[in-house]
Amino acid sequence: MEFKIRKAKSEDMPEVLELIQELAEFEKEPDAVIISAEDLKRDGFGKNPSFTCFVAEEKGKIEGMALCYFRYSTWKGKTVHLEDLVVRESSRGRGLGNALYKRVIQFAKDKDVKRTEWVVLDWNTHAREFYNRSGATVFTDWCTVQMEEKAMDRFLQKSR
């Protein structure tokens, strides 16, 4: 099959949202996705876009996507954070994921950043092995920390 990797357009966001939901289900968090296609359109395609998204398209259908954005490291300067990379389960094993991954790395190089980073679940051995083979370092001594909206509210309330 022939596929192409391209920068996403606003009208791609409903299919991108489907992929985000598929990823959430794979990661055993099917109810975690609260954004809408309209949120993605607003946040990714307005005056100051919050992210860049690349899609893998095959026969007019989006079969994969990679969403990334800029961060700033006090050690390295501007970096690219790869938030999610997902290929529909029915399209895996044909090189779409590798092509999306390569496109994100090329995007980072084109933007002259010093690091590209992302997180991977510890139980996702297939992805961890792929990243190691690609030359990335998969850290085991750093822990991801997040604070959800309700926890932020509670923290700020307690801190008054």
User: Whole-angstrom Cα distance, residue 5 to residue 159?
Assistant: 47
Q: Is 131 a catalytic residue?
A: yes
User: Catalytic one among 69, 72, 101, 131?
Assistant: 131
Active site residues: 131
